[in-house]
Structure 1
């Protein structure tokens, strides 16, 4: 039992070490090139360091899955050149046993990558743009007009980062007739609903004749309304932006379903963040079994070049399918999900049958 565990730890550590070296090298190479182009537009040492950090985080969010595959290729080449791989096979280890550390490590790192999408990690590009444009707020959405349940909402300015809105008006409808208007100079989102201080409420009673009551106007110190209408997803949903966390995507999906609106864009984003990263783990399995165990049986440099090119090609196809599904041309399930599922079937076939050869 001790020998298989030692082999597992050795291969896992080799893979992890190469992964972090390649991932951070790619990320900061990308960030460095961008920094050289935009350094003149940044003022202050701290701003420049933050810009590099956010750009590096953004690059890492793009290149993380690719680094998983590239590090497997480099790690296996290292095992081949040091004759460690042949030694493992000579000691009686099967291909499945040597492959398992790569599978488990890539699976764990993929889950880590997906979990980062629950954080502001996905907004790194926005933070970098805000620094370059010298903005204190990530975004201010102006003149937002939308429907929520039986109400129409107008917001003059929405600041999602502060969860604030300015000059907000809510028009409540009943059976196609306007029955109430709520005005407020400002509003703040508190946990699950919007708080409107010093609100003016204009109520229109049913008109039955000349003797009917007129408009009723009252002022309230605090009005609580629009429960569940989160500011983080307002601009993303109604302006078509793509900067969601996984939680935002889930909330946006529920919001759009409740309003009986199209959900394909949100589903595309969700699948891209939660499903597409697994393509790297599937390629790890397929490519591991495609690399010959002996340096003399093939040109390893050429094999590495082909596999790296194939990795970039597959990643490009998945990203292209994501963008196409985002535009609504195809269903999200027929884009990213289908491509990753096909790779998963190929990986399962390779693991079950090619490891016995």
Structure 2
């Protein structure tokens, strides 16, 4: 790593950290003050609320901090005529912004990796603490299709991986051929283990005199392999979020059942692709900066750069909300705009740099 690269990264990372910490403290502090009266008296729960809210805010603040830190760094370089000095020693534009782009890609990748962990449910957890539901996590009257089965859970406890009063109906064509009834079932080793199950089999050929239901009891049986409680919980909750791993599992599961997966695909695209919108912004901000501060309006540059970043971020945020509401399919509302944004930004960047 060259001395110039180390110098640029040191300056940029300092500004990035300052902006990130400032945004985190602002958003988390405002939210805490607004919801303080709703929070439990327990100091532990209040601390958990702050931690969950900090990570949820990080998903918003980190991409913005990447750009805002770069804007501040460029303003300082321009004001001190450092960009002129960089070019004077033979450095090219690529060598100036390349370290920042690379570290930004690393930070965004790290954020995406965190979205694959349970931290992805931070908003849900902080909401439960505020509503006094942190230790209560149950869903009732869930009815879903899984492969050749229709499954009814009177009560689902996702954290305990337990279901109560379950009915499993096995379907062949348009006919119910088997029913499993039990009071309790537990999810272990990627399967549901049903306790004290009553199994009712309907005869294949119906005859008035000889046909009868075959009823038997099993102390212990396993079924519904891969039917994960957390996926059930989030699919049932229309406003829930997913981690990347759970979203992938849910996408495979629901696709196999022929169920609409627009919401889940939208969540995946929003978590994996949308954060990279900042990379074209970094290039455009650099392209519209200036080497010389004498004829450069720093105030105007800073205002337009920040405003433009917020506009782009806001557009993708609104498009994601449209996708979550089922208005537009995610490929048209997220992927296509993302591709157009990258291509358009590169076009403007080349045009500006060539001029």
Report the counterpart of residue 41 of structure 1 in structure 2: 38
CA distance in 1 between partners of 2:266 and 2:111 (Å):
18
Structure 1 residue 19 corresponds to structure 2 residue 6: no
Q: Deviation at 1:277?
A: 0.5
Corresponding residue SS for 2:113: helix
Q: Deviations over 1:264-295 (max 9, x none)?
A: 22111111111100101111111111111222
| Cα deviation, residue 34, structure 1 | 1.1
TM-superposed CA distance for 1:350, in Å, is 5.2
Listed as ranges, the matches of 1:1-357 within 5 Å are 5-42=2-39, 43-137=41-135, 139-349=137-347, 352=350, 354-355=352-353
Please, which runs of 5 or more residues in structure 2 have no aligned partner? none
**1:32-88 CA distances to partner (integer Å, 9 max, x unpaired)?**
111112212221222222211211211111222111111110111122233322211
C-alpha distance in structure 2 between counterparts of 1:258 and 1:93, whole Å: 54
Displaced runs of 4 or more, over 6 A: none
SS at match of 1:328: coil
Write the distance in 1 (CA, Å) between the matches of 2:314 and 2:349.
25
Q: Residues of 2 paired with 1:254 and 1:220: CA distance?
A: 31
TM-score by length of 1: 0.93
Q: Closer, same or farther in 2 for the Cα pair 1:133/1:26, shift >3 Å?
A: same
Q: Give per-residue Cα distances to partners, 1:77-136, cap 9 Å, x unaligned.
A: 122233322211111111111011111111111111111110122211111112122224
Residue pair 1:12, 1:101 contacting (<8 A) in 2 also? yes
> Which secondary structure does the structure 2 equivalent of 1:99 belong to?
helix
- Shift in Å at residue 237 of structure 1? 2.2
Alignment root-mean-square deviation, CA = 1.8
Contact 1:68–1:281 under 8 Å retained in 2: no
Count of aligned residue pairs for this structure pair: 354
In structure 1, the gaps of 5 or more residues are none
Give, in whole Å, the separation in 1 of the partners of 2:261 and 2:44: 40
Question: Displacement of 1:158 after TM fit?
Answer: 1.3
Query: 2:336, 2:295 → 1: CA distance?
Result: 35
- Secondary structure of the residue aligned to 2:289 is coil
